[in-house]
Amino acid sequence: MLRRLLPAPRIALLLAIGLTACGDDPAKKPPADAEDSGEPSARPPVPEVAPGAPALRRLTRTQYENALEDTFLVDLYVPTAFEPDNEVEGLLSVGASTTSVSAYGVELYEQSAQTVADQVLADLTARTSFLSCTPSGASDAACAGEALGLAARKLWRRPVTEDEQARLGALAAAVGAESGDFDEGLRTGLVAILQSPHFLYRIENGAGEGGLRPLSPYELASRLSFLLWNSIPDEALLAKAADGSLAEDEVLEAEARRMLDDARARRGLRNLFDEVFHLYTLPTLSKDPLAFANASPELGPSAREETLLGIERLVLDEDGDFKDLFTTQRAFVDRRLAALYNVAAATPDGFGEVILPEAGGRRGLFGQASFLMLQAHANSTSATRRGKFVRTTVLCQEIPAPPANVDTSIPEADAESPTLRERLETHLSDPYCASCHRLTDPIGLGFENFDGIGKWRPTENDAVIDPSGDLDGTSFTNAWDLAQVISDNPNIEPCFARHVYRYGTGRLNVDGEDELLAWLADGFTRSGHSFRELLVDTVLSPGFRNVGEMQ
Amino acid sequence: MSTDDRWKQRLSWLFPQTPAPAARRVVRSPALGPCAPAPLQASRRGVLRGMLAGTAVTVSLPWLELFAGRTARAESTYPLRFGTWMWGNGVRPEQWRPVGEGSGAAWSLSEELAPLAAVKAKLAVISGMAVKVPNYIPHWSGAGGLLTGLDAVGDDEDWTVAAPTIDQVVAAEIGGSTIFRSIEAGIDSNEIFSFTGPNARNPGETDPFTLYERIFGATFREPGAGGLVDPRLGFRRSALDFVMDDVRALQTQLGPTDRQRLEAHLEGVRTLEQRLARLQEDPPDLESCERPDEPAVEYPDVEGRLQITERAEAMHDVLAMALACDQTRVFAFQLSRPVANLMFPGAEDGHHNLTHDEPTPQPGVHNITVQIMRELAYFLEKLDSIPEGEGTLLDHCAILAASEHGEARTHAITDMPVVIAGGANGRLATDLHYRSYTEENVGKAVLSLLRATGVLATSWGDGDTYTADGLAALEV
């Protein structure tokens, strides 16, 4: 039961045992590492794993765009209307393995394919990226097949069979003959490639029998490149798949490290945290300008950039201790955020590095506008949402949703209850509400000095805000302090190991992966919280390179 | 082939033949409280368990029973149109409920329904009925129970429906002969509550101009204009044939779950292929059809707020003409999604927040409900302004306007607000307020509605939601 509040349980399990989880006190959980002799022990061998079943993974919108860019080497316009991505337990990458495509989605894919094909044929760089032969006439099936085969190889992330190339050539030649235009045939072929399930879905079938079946080299190459680049493999990686060497530990590790040093890793890392922290919702987040003077449509995008830039620096440029994310005084701000944070901007344009003063009370991820804005209401803060984010996203603990048929209204501010702390009193005094809210609200109240868009405020309704509290037995006096308490929580390592694992494998972890996840978390700790090493470790682990039995 | 068989074939991809080895059992606690023990659910009817797109679901067969040996029904000269018009976060039931009961002068509109005065004679308002699901997932249980007849499956953050939504059930029956089988559209979110099956949502169009372009763009032909002559239509169909071959070949390499997911994809490709073929034929010939005015290209937010009315009216203009031109006969429109936190004009907070945070009697929530009814009134009046024969387009519609909750403050799924607009070619009673004092199953009204559209259903729902009886007051 107690273990269920530690990382990894799925909410269905929690519910299956009757939702009494809220009655448990996470403070009583056993320490993550019971025996602590001081001396670092040797790393245990990688445990056995029984990974989950393979599933088709639909390309997310960003993967679709990145794949086109990396294939045709130019920026292409992709229509904005698109089959929406679906989120499962907070991750679009996991949702991509469960959804199907609607009839409207098919229609949108077709429109997009046509728009893209037109642009590709009209752009010399894009055109020559796959077309090198000179057609002998409008219906030259061999030349069309060769060109389309090359494009399909990149977009489908695997060699194209002779039969496939012949079919593509025949399709193009038939249209070329009817229209008298070679390009029209080529265009039709591209449109077909871009709508093919081989492009739109990532196929990770694995091979062989049993519960631990290796991915094919091309499947593994794709899994690797989408994890690290959020896009298709490059030629170098495909070559390692072609000669089969990617299955070797050294080669796989070298490829992973090479890819992390590539500029495309920035795109990949950004996407990972966009998903984990839900930053992609910031550009469309609406805030009431009457409640917040600093609110503007540009604030959300700025806040997203601040968080992503900071993570990029920490992980890719410096390979620093990932836990610094929560406590660092360094911030990357533009003028808009500098004004919000009441610091001097480092540069008149774009983002520059500033050091946040201790007197400002703001530091780390939980002092960033992205977190403070997203986990709040349109015109007020939300201690519950902020606390829930810490519990579920940063510590991977489950908080059941509020039950139906309860009165959830919060009293209005008055002289008796000027600050949110008093107004949330019922959440914590009614034992029925308190069972869950005492897990969230005390943490969230620690951030009450920041309003619903992240501006510092010492008071609410003229009453001084009390930001003190306690997280599972460790007390804190304010948000500055709380950042350290969260950062010291032993659930951080397993939680981020789980995020990476789920993101990389595109599914929720299963029981047979518990030991591996614990091993990865331990490795993360041993590396001094190097997120780079966590990525490499995950890639090399058998859970990433294999799939379970097909279902 | 019997109707039952046709149905099973049509929806076959919903019902995998292979039972899942490790179906995830979803057990929920009742609405008593978060710490109460959870009872196991048992259905009194036969069930089929399976893995659908990664989520174990229990689909009751039949959740929808149909008459066998269906024969064609005499149609009015005008096709019947069906749609759902949904808004999020319920109403203030005391202020929404009409005054008096019965027909004509016996009832009058309430404060919240007042905007519908001009079309009162063409409405049936139903109050007091309940969605008979356990209400485990706030908002989604209500929406799922109402629109699919079965509870939603999963939990707050990871749920799906257990069966197709009513718009798709009807579209499978009457949507086959138009350019668009159905149209899904909304204002605030493309997450329309329209599903062809579990994990198979139909995303909606949220931009009025894009919706206009889609229906009335280059491929639209006015009555009498003849088929579209464009060689590319043929080329596009050739590409789709290539894609269908790829999908079928790939399906053979996959497990049953993924095969089903690809089957849904394949169905979409087939639908598109048929549409392209249909564009080459003569367009429908309806007297009131004309290309509507182009909506604005953009509706930028004003002071951080969506231009709800402007967007809704533009959408409704396009949608009304899409029906008048017989481009589609089925739609799912969503003014706001369940849990929508839209900032309405004049509101001090987002809609969803207000339903929970505003002290009763919640004047802010009340004002929002009135605004929502105003948007509904605009649409219905628009439909009523389009002549068709002796009557209007609205007379040939059956529109279910509803929300996922009665009172959203408590996540109630009793006292559900239901408006049925249009007489369905004379098959539904109008100018009526039916009030239930016994929390009757709202599925009865849904079943009547289904029957009015020509879907020969003998029952709807399963377990507590099951009904073989329609709502007599509604049926003519």
What ipTM was estimated for this complex?
0.89
Residue labelled with tokens 């605004």 = B371
Q: Side-chain half-sphere of B226: how many Cα atoms within 13 Å? A: 2
Chain A residues touching B201 at Cβ < 8 A: 86, 99, 102
Query: Taking CB atoms and an 8 Å limit, are B135 and A83 in contact across chains?
Result: no
Q: Does residue A6 lie within any of the structural domains?
A: no
User: Looking at the partner chain, which of B32, B246, B410 has a beta carbon nearest the beta carbon of A196?
Assistant: B246
Question: Could you give the CA distance from residue B187 to residue B379 in angstroms, rounded to a whole number?
Answer: 14
Residue A423, both tokens: 């107004």
Q: Is the peptide bond before B62 cis (omega within 30 degrees of 0)?
A: yes
Cβ of A344: how many Cβ atoms within 10 Å?
11
CA max distance for chain B: 66
Contact A297 B255 (CB under 8 A): no
- The DSSP output letter for B381 is H
The pair of structure tokens assigned to A118 is 């037109």
Q: Under an 8 A CB cutoff, do A197 and B210 touch?
A: no
Q: Which residues make Cβ contacts (< 8 Å) with residue A250, sequence separation at least 6?
A: none
Task: With CB atoms and an 8 Å threshold, state whether A19 touches B36.
Answer: yes
pLDDT score for A409: 62
* Residues A117 and A158 reside in one and the same domain: yes
With contacts defined as CB-CB under 8 Å, which chain A residues touch B268? 101-107
User: Can you say whether the dihedral through the CA atoms of A411, A412, A416, A419 is positive or negative?
Assistant: positive
Angle at B171 between CA B165 and CA B175, to 5 degrees: 165
Give a yes or no: residue A212 inside a domain.
no
Q: How confident is the model at residue A514 (pLDDT cuts 50, 70, 90)?
A: very high
**Strand duo B330-334 + B81-87: pairing:** parallel
Flag whether A52 is in a domain: no
**Chain A nearest-CA residue for B31:** A404
| A14 belongs to a structural domain | no
CA-CA distance, A143 to A134, in Å (whole number)?
7
Question: With an 8 Å Cβ cutoff, is B185 touching chain A?
Answer: no
A35 domain-assigned: no
Nearest CA in chain A to B406: A405
What's the average model confidence in pLDDT over A509-515? Answer: 95
Contacts of B37 in chain A (CB under 8 A): 18, 20
The per-residue pLDDT for B31 is 33
CB contacts of A148 in chain B (<8 Å) are none
Per-residue pLDDT of chain B (476 residues; tens, 9 = 90+): 444 444 444 444 443 333 333 333 333 333 333 333 333 333 323 333 333 333 334 454 568 887 754 444 445 689 999 999 999 999 999 999 999 999 999 999 999 999 999 999 999 999 999 999 988 888 999 999 999 999 998 877 678 899 999 999 999 889 888 999 999 999 988 889 999 888 888 999 999 999 999 999 999 999 999 999 999 999 999 999 999 999 999 999 999 989 989 998 999 999 999 999 999 999 999 999 999 999 999 999 888 789 999 999 999 999 999 999 999 999 999 999 999 989 999 998 889 989 988 888 999 999 999 999 999 999 999 999 999 999 999 999 999 999 999 999 988 999 999 999 999 999 999 999 999 999 999 999 999 999 999 898 899 999 999 999 999 999 98
Is there a single domain that holds both residue A277 and residue A252? no
Residue of B nearest to A298 (CA): B304
* Residue numbers in A near B267 (CB within 8 A): 103
A310 shares its domain with A233: no
A374 and A233, same structural domain?
A: no
Residue B62 has what pLDDT?
A: 65
Provide the shortest C-alpha distance from residue A157 to chain B (in Å). Answer: 15
The parent domain of residue A548 ranges over: 220-262+492-551
**Residue B98 one-letter amino acid:** P
B25 interfacial to chain A (CB closer than 8 Å)? yes
The pLDDT score that the predictor gives to residue B70 is: 46
For A266-308, how does the pLDDT look when each residue is reduced to its tens digit (9 = 90+)? 999 999 999 999 999 999 887 877 889 888 889 999 999 999 9
Residues A137, A92 share a domain = yes
Quickly state the pLDDT bin for A227 (edges 50, 70, 90). very high
**Under 8 Å between Cβ of B292 and B212:** yes
Residue A84 — pLDDT band, cuts 50, 70, 90?
confident
How many structural domains is chain A composed of? 3
State whether A122 and A247 are in the same domain: no
Q: Answer with the one of A487, A509, A539 that is the final residue of a domain.
A: A487
Residue B29 has its nearest CB partner, among A18, A103, A175, at A18
Cis (ω within 30 of 0) for the bond into A44? no
Q: B364 touching A, CB under 8 A?
A: no
Are A437 and A348 within one domain?
A: yes
Question: Which pLDDT belongs to residue B3?
Answer: 42
* Cβ contacts of B410 on chain A, cutoff 8 Å: 405-408
Chain A CB contacts of B26 below 8 Å: 12, 15
Give the nearest chain A residue to B275 (CA atoms): A107
User: Where are any strands of DSSP class E within A78-233?
Assistant: 201-202, 213-214
Tell which of A85, A94, A100, A190 to mutate to test the B interface (max B CBs under 10 Å). Answer: A100
Amino acid letter for position A125: T
pLDDT number for residue B43: 34
Which residues of chain B make contact with A84, given a CB cutoff of 8 A?
190-191, 203
- In the block, which residue shows the tokens 């072609």? A242
Q: Beta strands of A204-313 (E only): which ranges? A: 213-214
Contact A110 B199 (CB under 8 A): no
Please tell me which of the candidates B31, B204, B343 has its beta carbon nearest to residue A403.
B31
- Please indicate, yes or no, whether residues A427 and A306 belong to a single structural domain of this protein: yes
Taking the C-alpha atoms of residue A203 and residue A197, their distance in angstroms, rounded to an integer, is 9
Is B79-211+305-474 CATH 3.90.1150.10?
Answer: no
pTM: 0.84
Q: How confident is the model at residue A391 (pLDDT cuts 50, 70, 90)?
A: very high
Closest to B62 in 3D by CA, of B50, B46, B49: B46
Domain positions in chain B are 79-211+305-474
Read off the tokens for A268: 């990949």
Closest listed residue to residue B55, CA positions, set B149, B162, B136, B139: B162
> Residue A145 belongs to a domain with what CATH number?
1.10.3130
Span A509-525, average pLDDT: 97
Tens digit of pLDDT for each residue in A439-475?
Answer: 999 999 999 999 999 999 999 999 999 999 999 999 9
A235 & A293 share domain: no
**How many angstroms away from the CA of B226 is the closest CA of chain A?**
23
Neighbours of B38 (CB within 10 A): 17
pLDDT band at A405 (very low <50, low <70, confident <90, very high): low
> Is B238 in contact with A171 (Cβ distance < 8 A)?
yes
Q: Give pLDDT, residue A407.
A: 62
Rg (CA), chain A: 26
- DSSP letter for B349, please: S
Q: Indicate the burial class of B279 (C-beta count within 10 angstroms; 0-12, 13-18, 19 or more).
A: middle
A251 with A333, same domain: the answer is: no
The residue of chain A with its CA nearest to that of B362 is A409
Strand A57-58 relative to strand B397-403, pairing: unpaired
| Residue among B231, B257, B265 minimizing CB distance to A179 | B231
Render pLDDT for A232-265 as a digit per residue (tens, 0 to 9): 999 999 999 999 999 999 999 999 999 999 999 9
Q: Is there a contact between B272 and A288 if contact means CB atoms under 8 Å apart?
A: no
Residue matched to tokens 């298709």: A232
Measured CA to CA, the distance from residue A118 to residue A60 in angstroms comes to 22
> Hey, are the CB atoms on A400 and B34 less than 8 Å from each other?
yes
Residue ending a domain, among A461, A487, A513, is: A487
Contact of B135 with B31, CB cutoff 8 Å = yes
Mean pLDDT of chain A: 90
Residues of chain B in contact with residue A117, where contact means CB-CB under 8 angstroms, are none
Q: What is the DSSP string of A253-317?
A: HHHHHHHHHSTHHHHHHHHHHHHHTTGGGGGG----TTT-TT--TTHHHHHHHHHHHHHHIIIII
